[in-house]
Amino acid sequence: MKRYDYILVGAGAAGMQLLAAFCRDPFFSNYSILVIDADSKTSNDRTWCWWERGEGAWSELVEKRWEQVSVVGGRAMQFGVEDYSYNMLHSAKFYAAVKAMSQAHGGIDWVQERYVKHREQQDFVEVMTEGNRYEGKYLFTSVANLKEAMRSTQHPYLHQHFIGWFVKTEHPVFDANTALMMDFCVEQRGNTRFMYVLPTSPSEALVEYTLFSDTLLSEGEYEQAITEYLGGLQAGAVKIQHKERGAIPMTTYPFWKHNTQRVLHIGIAGGWTRASTGYTFHNSTKESMRLAASLKAGLSDMRSFHASSRFHFYDFVVLDVLKRRNDVGAAFFSRIFETNRIHVVFDFLNGQSTLQQEINIVSKSSPRLQLMYSVLRYVFSRLGFHLYRYKGLYRMK
């Protein structure tokens, strides 16, 4: 049996980006790599967006760039994004590009099979699919086990869940030059709910109904909200060209603790999602490049591939507030955009802001009492205590 240097389970955003990082570096030209996924990865099953300065790793594939964004909270706010752009990429084009890279590499095999389990041995990892068994020196897996994260009392957990329609409308109702990041002028119903609109022409857009909350909705509830929103815009007859649906975990749970010497979890499974926003694609680009560089430098124990930062603290505080008071999300996010320059907000959300910028953002944020309570919960949780409220008083257990 052929033993591969690396096995990748899951050819989604993170798996493909890691594969691309290997293909782009001549150092890995003689490495044997196996990619396992149950899907052929030819359909347009995802749309990824991210903020970026200048040209990046995937700039040549970007479908649309916006240099203006808007947020609608208590009032409508529109911003020029200064030296940033907001980028949209369709997955079919991305998959095709990475597959082309892998063919040029020459040492990459693909199997369309369903992963079942893996077993780590002393000097290799066995990977079992429904029909075969494979061996690799190291395994990089996108398979996420979220049950433990959802049960954790130390880390707040929410879903970012949505249904999006790519629509063509009878009337031109969209501003094709402006990405609408969050429109909170929909009924909140005790949650954090907003419309996300990415127009590609005055009559074409991705219109997505998104929630940050505990509980998913029925398909009809999402779609009714989109229908009502488009009706309010007086869009006229609407043709649905494509639909997307997703549920992204938002949590500070330390997924990296599940890594072993030869097994590394990547993407959502590895905690590569920005916990307080749900954005994953751009961070996966950075982490994939960092991982490839670490392997090139001699990384041999995957348990050491972990980098903590102060943004973990910010994510915990934001999620903890939303977990306890899901109804304040509209005010919280609107306030961030209202009181800060847009490039500072993007720096903060990308994990690239300075400490002084972060202090300014936090000092202007609201609701302050809820934020301070979540700061205390973070501190006590690190000390091994859980701070909770009982009959109006704060207690520890």
Structural domain boundaries of the chain? 3-64+85-150+253-304, 157-250, 311-396
Residue at 24: amino acid letter: R
Region 200-216: mean pLDDT is 97
First to last CA, the chain: 53
DSSP character string of 168-179 = EESS----TTEE
DSSP 3-state of 279: coil
Query: What does the pLDDT look like over 24-78, one tens digit per residue?
Result: 999 999 999 999 999 999 999 999 999 999 899 999 999 999 999 999 998 999 9
The b/e string for 194-204 (b: 16+ C-beta within 10 A; e otherwise) is bbbbbbbeebb
The helix-helix angle for 355-364 and 342-349 (nearest 10°) equals 110
Is domain 3-64+85-150+253-304 in CATH 3.90.1150.10, yes or no?
Answer: no
**Residue 371 vs residues 54, 72, 344: alpha-carbon distances, Å:** 34, 22, 20
**Residue 327 vs residues 184, 225, 226, 370: alpha-carbon distances, Å:** 11, 18, 20, 12
Q: What distance in Å separates the CA atoms of residue 287 and residue 280, rounded to the nearest whole number?
A: 10
Q: What distance in Å separates the CA atoms of residue 104 and residue 375, rounded to the nearest whole number?
A: 50
Q: Are 177 and 81 in contact (CB under 8 A)?
A: no
Q: What distance in Å separates the CA atoms of residue 358 and residue 195, rounded to the nearest whole number?
A: 27
Predicted confidence at residue 396, as pLDDT, reads 43
**Residue 19 vs residues 36, 108, 261, 317: alpha-carbon distances, Å:** 12, 9, 20, 34
Residue found under tokens 């090139």: 296
Q: Looking at the predicted structure, is the pLDDT value of residue 20 above 90?
A: yes
The mean-pLDDT minimum among 247-256, 277-286, 383-392 falls in 383-392
Is domain 157-250 in CATH 3.40.30.10, yes or no?
Answer: no
